[in-house]
Chains A and B, each alone.
Chain A
């Protein structure tokens, strides 16, 4: 009981320290009310995709933003998570809780294996090794004719006992619950002794060694946690898409996740979610805008997106979240000057 009260207290201080993140999560909880009254059901779908990519980006952010490990292969874990659902269904296992458990186990052990090997290197070698593992897994699933190979396989939404995902909004709130609990978990991890040590390793690995700690152990554990989070995202992705193919783990998605994190704010809790929102909204709207101006170029919306990303990186170190907090701080100081 006392433990639970401390937990609530710690959660409260954490939520206060991360207002942007929890405002966004609250907004996602209320969003279906908006779409219902505005009669825009399509946007629920977009919101789900944002949350799913947000979860995966949060997972990657643990190693990339907090641990300073540039993993270029995290889409593989999203894909493995999705295939865990697809393959389970193929063999007649339809229970969604078991799917998630299965994804956790497979992504965890794969993350442990890849992390154990890849984290012995650093810098450009680490980037290349993680990419190599991801490509290996990608082509492994391409070659699995039994499970659709290149074309992938259609699946049904998973069965979560009492929750029927074919009922409206059930899947939406399942994804939302995953987002909220993973955010809560990461919030605790980041501030904990483990999280602090991980951030210190990013800051200066040799000082951590000089304190008698083995940095590799912390890196591997964070890598496994991040793989598992991406796996959960993938497992839910499969139900959302009702379809699994190697496309979900294409290397460009690893890049996408990195772009989302950098856009939103590297090494911040809210950054990946904010990045996912902006990234997917731009993905929706930039083609439309471009279609108005120059219809033949509509599908090349990246032409506009690229310079935008460069500007955020150049002028807003700390991404969009950094820009927002800087702006808010300036406003505040203006107000106090006037008052």
Chain B
């Protein structure tokens, strides 16, 4: 039985002046799969993610999430519809502690942010929820640290935790391993691996070892177009891909 399609892109097109960033691109990501998006720098991977996330609007084409057209929706509405995201540069609340970060994510998840009386950070229910969010990525022992004191890898971990807080159906990960040390990289890879089967993941990553270890399917982008989609095995033996991208390594 095929897993249901979570994300479907139909003929997405985006250009900035004469530069075509996304060229009539179609793609499907199904539930539970880790789908890696690779390609040389400037291939348009992040631009594509931005269009799925809603920060950029495609010139034409459709973005479908769980069969629903979300092309016209702004970012917050897409997040509510089920998209979680980590950014290329760690995007967490720097002026707060780790637990405070997750408490804010928890109250956002509950959709109860317009309350003006009861203090948020001492609210038992929010604290419990926040701790559960941190526990998922093993950051519970760092709960009371200011985010500024965290190592780079831990910030990435926190960001992943925040992205997972609302149990999204689609997780967009933009280079989650960038800048991480070997240990951090291994921990992060293990956490992403453990998400397999639970959520659809679209992963941009330059670390090819990690990509080939994690991905169920790989899509290769060059100059805004998809040149190949397939299992890691198919991709590593694809001639066009070799020529365009992996050429030197093999």
A residues in contact (CB < 8 Å) with B: 7, 10, 13-14, 188-189, 191-197, 199-200, 202-204, 206-214, 218, 221
Contacts and interface: CB of A to CB of B under 8 A. Distances in A.
Contact of B76 (A189, A200, A213): A213
A207 to B, nearest CB: 5
B96 A200 contact: yes
B75 A209 contact: yes
Contacts of B94: 203-204
Tell me what chain A mostly uses at the interface: helix, strand, loop, or mixed: helix
14 contacts: A7-B117, A13-B119, A189-B116, A193-B123, A196-B103, A197-B104, A197-B113, A208-B104, A210-B84, A210-B91, A211-B162, A212-B79, A214-B74, A218-B113
B107 A203 contact: no
B92 interface: yes
A209 B79 contact: yes
Contacts of A195: 116, 120
A199 B116 CA distance: 13
B73 to A, nearest CB: 11
Contacts of B117: 7, 10, 188, 192
Given A191-B121, A194-B114, A200-B104, A211 B91 contact: no
Contacts of B104: 196-197, 200, 208, 211
A193 B118 contact: yes
A196 B92 contact: no
B170 interface: no
B95 A203 contact: yes
A203 B93 contact: yes
Contacts of B250: none
B107 A196 contact: yes
Contact of A196 (B74, B120, B162, B166): B120
Interface string B166-209: 10000000000000000000000000000000000000000000
Contacts of B85: 210
> Which 9 residue pairs are nearest across A and B when measured between Cβ atoms?
A212-B79, A211-B108, A191-B119, A203-B95, A196-B120, A193-B115, A193-B120, A212-B80, A209-B75
Interface in B48-96: 74-77, 79-80, 84-85, 87, 91-96
Nearest to B81: A212
Contacts of B165: 211
A230 B235 CA distance: 64
Centre residue among A14, A203, A210 by max chain B CB count within 10 A: A210
Contact of A191 (B75, B80, B120): B120
B114 A193 contact: yes
B105 interface: yes
B116 A211 contact: no
Nearest to A3: B117
Given A200-B104, A212-B79, A207 B113 contact: no
Interface in B108-133: 108-109, 112-123, 126
B163 interface: yes
A212 B118 CA distance: 22
Given A200-B104, A203-B96, A210 B75 contact: yes
B88 to A, nearest CB: 12
